[in-house]
Amino acid sequence: MSTATIRLTMAQALVRYLCNQFTEIDGEKVPLFAGVFGIFGHGNVTCLAEALEAVQDQLPTWRGQNEQSMALAGVAFGKAKRRRQIMVATSSVGPGATNIVTAAGVAHANRLPLLILSGDIFANRRPDPVLQQVEHFGNPTTSVNDAFKAVTRYWDRITHPEQIISSLPQAIAAMLDPADCGPAFIGLCQDTQEIACDYPAAFFEPRVHSIPRPRADRDQIAAAVEKLKSAKRPLIISGGGVRYSLAEEKVAAFAEARGIPLTETIAGKGSVTHDHPAHAGPIGVVGSSSANALAREADVVLAIGTRLQDFTTGSWTAFSHDAEFVSINAARWDATKHRALAVVGDALEAVSELDEALGDWKADASWTTRGQQEFAEWNKLLDELQKPTNAPVPTYAQVVGIVNRKAGDRDLILTAAGGLPGEVAKGWRVKEPNTFDCEFGFSCMGYEIAGGWGAAMADETRTTIVMVGDGSYMMMNSDIYSTVLSGHKMIVVVCDNGGFGVINRLQNFKGGASFNNLIKDSRVKQPFSVDFVKHAESQGALARQVESLADLETAMDWAKTTDRTTVISIATDAFVWTPGDAAWDVGVPQVSNREEVRQARKDHDQIRASQRVGV
């Protein structure tokens, strides 16, 4: 073994190591770390930035406008790459670091990779307290970076330059592990970044990483086969893990060949096209009447790559108490939820083995037909809801329908919190697999435009279409400017319903008076609208206000021809929503002076009485 060494500062060594990590995508060797989103401050500008500047042609650094939004862009990039390639987000100490905590939560909840490198306090403590240091009187080793422990899969603080030799491989292993995938955080003490060390040359040898495919236990596969063979009304729930395993084609073919209706979670939507023969629609709270009708009657549910979030299960009211679950998941934690028969392993490999072991078994033809009939009825409802009318303000369904029709087959639709997740999950008809991104694991307002930047960067051969409500737009919009600067075009459709419309809906539905959600119901001197067109134009984007659905069609055609990020703003009805058929458990007051709340509580007690018992 060679004893050769290379003398570098810790920051220089870290950057050189990242530059020598590779992965394969579609048979092509590419950098594992595609780039760095960075905002520099005193905690990372003198050492880490010095190292990044020297390799900017190999590991490009992109300047963000807000630490949270640039990290969200990194999350969206990782999702678009289906966890095969990773972005880095770097910040200074203090508020620069804590701004990223929300984005780390998004990555953690959605099981997505992101490497976070934040400056940290001095390891030698000589100049303490340093600028932006939050002191903990009983524990001087604590900094604000400890906040990341709750929202990362891997956490470390580098207090000695040699520590990166063991830390960086572990961070990468966590981010690439199908079961443990999530963000990795490494705090870089300011004085440690500057220290020169004789690093082993072998540490910097190029390495090509691959995503492991853990096989399920044979007995688990055999038990799953027997469970499926006993089913009279089986149902598939396809989750995000199907897409990250690259198992879309296999799961789709399995469902069709076996005659099992296939439903999708929000994270899993886009694993099949809308018109796939086995497709039965999205399931759960923001799901379709077709999928939820089938869920109520299913006797065996095959959950593939889903963490069974409450919006998928209707807070565990969407299924019969007698329904049995078979859960295929790389993560043991997810596979064993709710007394499921756990098949712990890679989705592609597990479904392939399951398919082979099932022989010539197929679901009863009448059940297969039932799924197709339910989905046909759902499509009729969508057609009716999306049909243009002469109403003074268009509905979300109508706006989604037009944007969907104008989108190219490979164009990516991207959204997140508010009313749009429900509207696009229900109403967006996927034309090509992996063209749908709705961040709903953390339901993060502000992901939309920031995520659009990362997604546009991940694939410049298609157009990223961001749909965002006025509330989320106001919360985080500065990456419109980022995309203009970097040249990563996206189309942003702002649905302006005058505030936080969907939460106002929930407030009213549970008996509450409209309060502090819509602008007109908040403590303001006078309700007024933001001029989103002027605001977008001030950031260098092209923009247009549209007053009708016909204008929206024309504007979408125009937006496809422009040379930079283009924003379209349209007023949207805050009170008309696409219906859903699954319940959702939220807290409703046991006592109230409002009769509407008291009645809502009675109704909600019935919801809770229907919940399945489990964990």
Domain boundary among 376, 400, 432: 376
3-class state of residue 473 by DSSP: helix
Instruction: With residue 344 as reference, give the H or E element that holds it.
Output: strand 341-344
Whether residue 519 sits in one domain with residue 402 = yes
Residue 527 has pLDDT above 90, yes or no: no
Residue 179 within a domain: yes
Residue 39 has pLDDT above 70, yes or no: yes
Whether residue 20 sits in one domain with residue 144 = yes
Residue 537 has pLDDT above 70, yes or no: yes
Where b means 16+ CB within 10 Å and e means fewer, 398-423 reads bbbbbbbebbeeebbbbbbbbbbbbb
Query: The domain spanning residue 78 has which CATH number?
Result: 3.40.50.970
Kindly state the average pLDDT of the residues 436-441.
97
Whether residue 99 sits in one domain with residue 17 = yes
What angle in degrees, to the nearest 10, is found between the helix axes of 396-406 and 365-386?
100
Whether residue 435 sits in one domain with residue 368 = no
Q: How far is Cα 273 from Cα 264, in angstroms, rounded to an integer?
A: 11
For the chain, the average pLDDT equals 96
Model pLDDT, residue 581: 77
Task: State the residue range of the domain holding 135.
Answer: 5-209
The answer to whether the beta carbons of residues 256 and 280 sit under 8 Å apart is no
Residue 235 within a domain: yes
Model pLDDT, residue 94: 94
Would you call 159 exposed, middle or buried from its count of C-beta atoms within 10 A (0-12, 13-18, 19+)? middle
Domain boundary among 349, 376, 403: 376
Whether residue 224 sits in one domain with residue 164 = no
3-class state of residue 558 by DSSP: helix
Residue 587 within a domain: no
Q: How far is Cα 414 from Cα 69, in angstroms, rounded to an integer?
A: 15
Kindly state the average pLDDT of the residues 522-538.
93
* Number of structural domains found in the chain: 3
Whether residue 322 sits in one domain with residue 408 = no
Percent of the chain exceeding pLDDT 90 equals 97
Would you call 529 exposed, middle or buried from its count of C-beta atoms within 10 A (0-12, 13-18, 19+)? exposed
3-class state of residue 328 by DSSP: strand
Residue 609 within a domain: no
Whether residue 545 sits in one domain with residue 513 = yes
Q: How far is Cα 528 from Cα 107, in angstroms, rounded to an integer?
A: 35
Residue 402 within a domain: yes
What angle in degrees, to the nearest 10, is found between the helix axes of 420-427 and 365-386?
120
Residue 544 has pLDDT above 70, yes or no: yes
Kindly state the average pLDDT of the residues 39-55.
97
Domain boundary among 209, 243, 267: 209
Q: How far is Cα 292 from Cα 282, in angstroms, rounded to an integer?
A: 8
When computed from its CA atoms, the radius of gyration of the chain, rounded to whole angstroms, is 25
Strands 21-25 and 28-31: antiparallel
Whether residue 162 sits in one domain with residue 126 = yes
Residue 269 within a domain: yes
Whether residue 129 sits in one domain with residue 62 = yes
Q: How far is Cα 266 from Cα 441, in angstroms, rounded to an integer?
A: 9
Model pLDDT, residue 1: 60
Query: Over the stretch 313-323, which tens digit does the pLDDT of each residue have?
Result: 999 999 999 99
Query: The domain spanning residue 299 has which CATH number?
Result: 3.40.50.1220
Percent of the chain exceeding pLDDT 70 equals 100
Q: How far is Cα 262 from Cα 374, in angstroms, rounded to an integer?
A: 12
Q: How far is Cα 319 from Cα 575, in angstroms, rounded to an integer?
A: 29
Token reading at 203:
């540490």
Identity of residue 238: S
Model pLDDT, residue 614: 67
Model pLDDT, residue 427: 97
**Confidence band for 438, pLDDT divided at 50, 70 and 90:** very high
Query: Over the stretch 247-297, which tens digit does the pLDDT of each residue have?
Result: 999 999 999 999 999 999 999 999 999 999 999 999 999 999 999 999 999
3-class state of residue 546 by DSSP: strand
Residue 28 within a domain: yes
Residue 197 has pLDDT above 60, yes or no: yes
Query: Over the stretch 58-86, which tens digit does the pLDDT of each residue have?
Result: 999 999 999 999 999 999 999 999 999 99
**Confidence band for 526, pLDDT divided at 50, 70 and 90:** confident
Model pLDDT, residue 615: 53
Angle at the Cα of 60 from the Cα atoms of 56 and 62, rounded to 5 degrees:
120
Residue 599 within a domain: no
Query: Over the stretch 143-183, which tens digit does the pLDDT of each residue have?
Result: 999 999 999 999 999 999 999 999 999 999 999 999 999 99
Whether residue 170 sits in one domain with residue 287 = no
Residue whose tokens read 């390639």: 85
Question: Count of CB atoms within 10 A of residue 131's CB?
Answer: 11
Query: Over the stretch 206-217, which tens digit does the pLDDT of each residue have?
Result: 999 999 999 999
Model pLDDT, residue 2: 75
Whether residue 229 sits in one domain with residue 135 = no
Whether residue 309 sits in one domain with residue 189 = no
Q: How far is Cα 547 from Cα 524, in angstroms, rounded to an integer?
A: 26
